[in-house]
Structure 1
Amino acid sequence: MKKIYILSAVLSALTLQAQFTVSIQGPADFKEQDAILYTLNGSKDIIVTKEQSKNNVWTFKYPKNYAGMMKVYFPNTNNSVSFISENKNVNIKLDVQNNKIKDVAYQDEVNNLMNSLQEGSQKKELILPALTQIKEYYKDNTEFGKALKTEIGRLSTGLEDIDQTKHPFIYYYNTNYNKFLSNNSTNKASQDDIINFLDKSGDMLETSSLLRPVLVAYLNAGGNANVGGSVDKLLDRLKVETPRGQTVLSELIDIFDVYEMGELKDKYLSLAKNLKCTITDRLASTLKANANVELGAAFPNYKFQSAVNSTAKSLYDVKADKKIIIFWSSTCSHCESELPQLLTKYNDLKTKNIQIIGFSLDTDKDSYTKKIAAFPWINDSELKGWNSSYTDTYNIHATPSYFILDANNKIISKPDHVGDVLEYFKLK
C-alpha cells in the first residue's frame, strides 16, 4: 500500500506541474497589474487563468497540451497580445508607449517563426501581384530587374522549409489558410473540399481561428440561392450530435446573426434547442446568450460602471414605463448617422416616461467622453471594446443594436434600426 501511495503522490505532483509556461515582459512604465490568459474555441476566447505582475513580468503555467492560438488581455489598460502555442514555452517582450502596446517582440522560436511567416504572407498577398506586373517592364539582366526577380522568388516560396513534425500547428495553420482563405490561391476550394476539411481535421481546427472564415468561405462557395441547403449538407456530414458538429452549428448561428439573416438564424437556433444529446459548453454558451435576449425574456440586469446622467446603480434601478437600450460605439459609422435621429426625438420620448440607456463599446476614453457630451440620456461604458462583458451577456454582434424593454425590464421589441425604434413609439 505504501508503494502505491508514493506512486500516486508522484503522479499527482506531475499533473500539477506546468506543461509549458507563457511569459510576458512589459517595461517599467507599463501601468498594469492584471493579465488574463485565453485559449480559443472556434471564434470564442476561453478564459484560462488570471495572473498579476511580478517585476513587470506575467507568468502563466498551462497544465495541459495545447496547440493553437492564445491571447493575453490586460483589462485595466485594454491591451492584448496574441500568439500561438505548440506546447512549448512562450516568451514575449512588449514595447509600450503611453500605456498602449506599440510593438511585440516574440522571443521564442515558435512565435518568432509564425510572426515571420505572417509578415511574409501579407507581403505575398499585397505586394507580390504588383511586383509581378512591374517585372514585365524591366529586363532580367538589369540591376533592378535582378532585384525584382530575387524578391519575387523569395515571396513566392511556400511551406517547404517548415518541418511538420517540429511545428505541427504552424504547418497546419499556414497550409490550410493558403488553401482555403488566401487571395493568391490559384484553385478555389469547392464546398466538398471544405466539408472534407471540416470533417477530417483534428482538434487544431477549433484552436486555429480558421473555423469561422472557412465557414464563411463555404457559404460563399455555394452562392445565395440555397444557403439552407448548403448548411444542411454540411451538418448532415458532421453530425450535430458530435462536438465538431455542435461547434460548427454554434458558429453558423452567430454568422447568421452578424449578417442579419434572421430566418436562417432562427432555423438553426431551433435545431440547437431541440437537440436531445449532451450539449457542449460552446453550444451551451450560444444558447444562453440568445435566450437572454429573446422577445419576452427578462433583459439581464447590469451593474453600471460609471454611468453619466443618472444616479442609478444598475439598469434595473432605472425606473421608466419603457426603456430603449442601445449598444453603440463612437467609431461606428452607422451609429454616427442613427443616434442623432434619436436625439431629435429625445424630449418627445422623455415626456412619455421612456428612458434611453446607451452602452458603449468604445476603448478610447477621450472619444467616448466627447461623444456622450451630446447625448443627454444615460451612458455607460467599460471602455473595453468587444472585450466588454455585455457583448456575450446580450449577444451583441454589431453596433448599433437596439432593445426596447417594458417597465418590468422584459424585452418587448428588438428593432433593427433607429427608424424602427421611432416607428414603435409612433414618432416617425
Structure 2
Amino acid sequence: MKKIYILSAVLAAFSLQAQFTVTVQTPAEFKDKDAILYTLNGSKDIIVTKEQSKNNTWNFKYPGHYMGMMKVYFPTSNNMVTFISENKNVDIKLDIQNNKIKEVEYLDEVNNLMNRQQDGSQKKELILPALTQIKEYYKDNTEFGKALKEEIGRLSGTSNAIDAAQHPFISYYNTNYSKFLSNSADPAKKVTQDDIVNFLDKSNDMLESSSLLRPVLVAYLNSGGNTNVAGAVDTLLDRLKVETPRGQTVLSELIDIFDAYDMDEFKTKYLTLAKNLKCTITDRLATTLKSNANVEMGAAFPNIKFQSPANTSAKSLYDVKADKKIIVFWSSTCSHCESELPQLLAKYNDLKAKNIQIIGLSLDTDKNSYTQKIAAFPWINDSELRGWNSSYVDTYNVHATPTYFILDANNKIINKPDHVGNVLEYFKLK
C-alpha cells in the first residue's frame, strides 16, 4: 500500500507541475465578461474552458501538459487573441478601442520572443526583397541610401535560430515553417513529397497543435500537381496508418480540404474510407463524419434556434413552415454573395408565391454591416455575429460563402446547389 501512496503523490505532484495559467488583462472599459480558452488539433479549435472576468482579468488554468497554439475568444464582442504555450504561464495585456482589440502586449517571455521572431520573419520575407530592389536606385552615400543599407543589413541578419532545449515549440514552428511553407525558402532545397511524408510521419505531437498541418498538407497536394492526387493521398495514409490518431487527423483534414476546394470525387472517396474504418474513431474524425452526415442528401437538416431573427416570429428553423426552404449561408463581406444574393432578391416574390421560404444565416461579425445589408433582404435573416466561430460552421459543414441547401416541408435536404443559378434552375425560375 505504501508504494501506491507514494506513486499517487508523485502523480499528483507531476500534475501540479504540468499545470499552467493563461492570464489576459484588459482595460476597465472593455465590456465583455465571458471568454473561452481553446487549444488546437490540426485546424480545429478545441474548447478547454470558459471563464468570467474578475476586475477585467481572466485566469484560465490548464490542467495538463500542452505545447502549441492557443487562443482566447470573447464571444460577446467577437474579439480574439492568439498565442502559444510551452507549458509555462502565459500573460497577455490587451489595449482596447471601441470594445475592439487594438494592440496585444505579450508579457511572458515565450510569447514575447515568438512575437519578435514572427515580426522579424515577416519583414525578412515580405519587406527585404522590396528594399533590395529599391536599393539599386539610391547611392550608398546619400542619407536615404545609408538608412536603406542599414535596414537591409539588419533584416538580413534576422535569424530564426532558437535553442530547442529552451524553447521547443518556437524552434519546432520556425524550423518547419521555414522548410515547408516560407516563400523565401532556398529553391535549391525545394522539398519533395517524400520529405513531407517523412515529416508528417515522424513529427512529434506538436504537429497537431502547431497550425502547420493543413498548410503542409495543401503543399503536399500541390507539389504533385493534379496528375495523381489519389495516389499521393494513398501513399501518405498508408505510411501514417490510417487507423492511428495521426492518420485519422490527417484523413479528417484531407476530407475538409477536398470539400473546401470542391474536389468532390476525392472527398467522396476518402469520406467513404473514414466511414468504413473498423477501429476506434478519434474525436477529431468523429466531428468531420458528423458534420458531413448532417448535410447528406436526404438527411434531416439539423434544427437551429434563432438568435435575433429578422422578418419572422419563428423561434427556430423548424418553426418556419413552407413547402420548401432555401437555406443560404452568406456574409456581407463576401464578394460572391454580393453578386448572387441580388439574383435571389429579383425572384423573391416568385418564390414566395410558391410557398418557398428563404432563410439567410450570416457569418458576419460586424453588426452594423450585417444590419445594413439585411435591410434590403425581405426574407428571414439571422446571425450569431461570430463569423467563422459560428456554430453553423461545424453543424452544417460550411467551408465557403455562399453555401446553399434546399429543404422539403419536413426539413429534409433535397438539393445542394453550387450557385444561385442552380437554385433558380431547380425552381424553374431561370
Q: Which residue of 2 aligns with 1:198?
A: 200
Residue range with higher mean Cα deviation, 237-246 or 324-333: 237-246
Deviation digits for residues 240-261 of structure 1, max 9, x if unmatched?
A: 1111111111101001111111
Query: Distance between the aligned counterparts of 2:49 and 2:216, measured in 1?
Result: 29
Q: How does 1:303-382 map to 2 (within 5 A)?
A: 303-382=305-384
1:82 is matched with: 82
Which residue is equivalent to 1:423?
425
In 1, Cα distance between the equivalents of 2:137 and 2:341?
A: 52
Q: CA deviation at 1:335?
A: 0.3
Equivalence for 2:116: 116
Instruction: Give how far 1:164 is off.
Output: 1.1
Which stretch of structure 1 is more off in the superposition, 132-141 or 22-31?
A: 132-141
Asked if the contact 1:17/1:63 (under 8 Å) is kept, the reply is no
SS at match of 1:209: coil
Structure 2 CA distance for partners of 1:171 and 1:13, relative to 1, 3 Å: closer
Distance in 1 of aligned mates of 2:81 and 2:374: 29
* Structure 1 segments unaligned to the other structure (5+ residues): none
Deviation at 1:419, TM superposition (A): 0.4
What corresponds to 2:49 in structure 1?
49
Displacement after TM superposition at 1:140 (Å): 5.0
Task: Find the residue that maps to 1:396 and give its secondary structure.
Answer: coil
Provide the C-alpha distance between the structure 1 equivalents of 2:202 and 2:141, rounded to a whole number of angstroms: 48
Of residues 179-188 and 8-17 in structure 1, the stretch that sits farther from structure 2 once superposed is 8-17
CA contact (8 A) 2:40 2:46 kept: yes
Distance in 1 separating the partners of 2:216 and 2:107: 30
State the alpha-carbon separation in 1 of the partners of residues 116 and 377 from structure 2: 46
Structure 2 equivalent of residue 176 of structure 1: 176
User: Any conservation in 1 of the 2:43–2:213 contact (CA below 8 Å)?
Assistant: yes
Structural mapping, 1:188-337, within 5 Å = 188-337=190-339
Contact 2:120-2:158 within 8 A present in 1 as well: no
Query: Is this contact kept in 2: 1:159–1:171, CA < 8 A?
Result: no
**Mapped contact 1:18–1:61 kept (Cα < 8 A):** no
How big is each residue's C-alpha offset from its partner over 1:267-326, in whole Å with a ceiling of 9 and x where there is no partner?
Answer: 110111111111111111000000000001000000011111111111001111110000
User: Any conservation in 2 of the 1:345–1:427 contact (CA below 8 Å)?
Assistant: yes
Distance, in Å, in 2 between the alignment partners of 1:264 and 1:66 is 34
Distance 1:203 1:3, change over 3 A: closer
CA distance in 1, matches of 2:134, 2:10: 65
Aligned to 2:32: 32
Structure 2 regions of 5+ residues with no counterpart? none
The CA distance in 1 between the partners of 2:200 and 2:145, in whole Å, is 43
Distance 1:296 1:128 in 2: 54
| Deviation of 1:137 (Å) | 4.0
Provide Cα deviations, 1:59-80, integer angstroms capped at 9, x if missing partner. 0011111110000000111100
Secondary structure at 1:337 match in 2: helix
In percent, how many aligned pairs have the same letter?
82
Instruction: Please tell me whether the aligned partners of residues 39 and 45 of structure 1 are also in contact (alpha carbons under 8 angstroms).
Output: yes
Q: CA deviation at 1:148?
A: 3.2
SS at match of 2:418: coil
Distance in 1, matches of 2:198 and 2:25, equals 41
How much does 1:12 deviate?
4.4
- 1:121-170 per-residue CA deviation (whole Å, 9 max, x = no partner) reads 11111111112223334455665444434322322235464111101110
Residue in structure 1 matched with residue 104 of structure 2 by the alignment: 104
Query: Taking structure 1 as reference, are residues 54 and 294 closer, same or farther at Cα in structure 2, changes over 3 Å only?
Result: same
Instruction: Report the 3-state secondary structure (helix = DSSP H, G, I; strand = E; otherwise coil) of the residue aligned with 2:407.
Output: strand
Contact 1:40 1:46 in 2 (8 A): yes
- Please give the secondary structure, in 2, of the residue aligned with 1:127: helix
Q: Following the alignment from structure 2 to structure 1, what is the Cα–Cα distance between the partners of residues 33 and 9?
A: 35
RMSD between aligned residues: 1.7
> What is the CA-CA distance between 1:7 and the residue it aligns to?
6.8
Is it true that 1:392 corresponds to 2:394 in the alignment?
Answer: yes
Aligned residues of 1:159 and 1:175 also touching (Cα < 8 A): no
Please state how far the C-alpha of 1:237 moved relative to its aligned partner: 1.4
Q: What's the counterpart of residue 94 of structure 1?
A: 94
Please give the alpha-carbon distance, in whole angstroms, between the structure 2 residues aligned to 1:198 and 1:303: 40
Q: Deviations over 1:321-357 (max 9, x none)?
A: 1100000000000000000000111111111111110
Letter in structure 2 aligned against 1:217: A
Give yes or no for contact 1:306–1:381 (8 Å, CA) kept in 2: yes
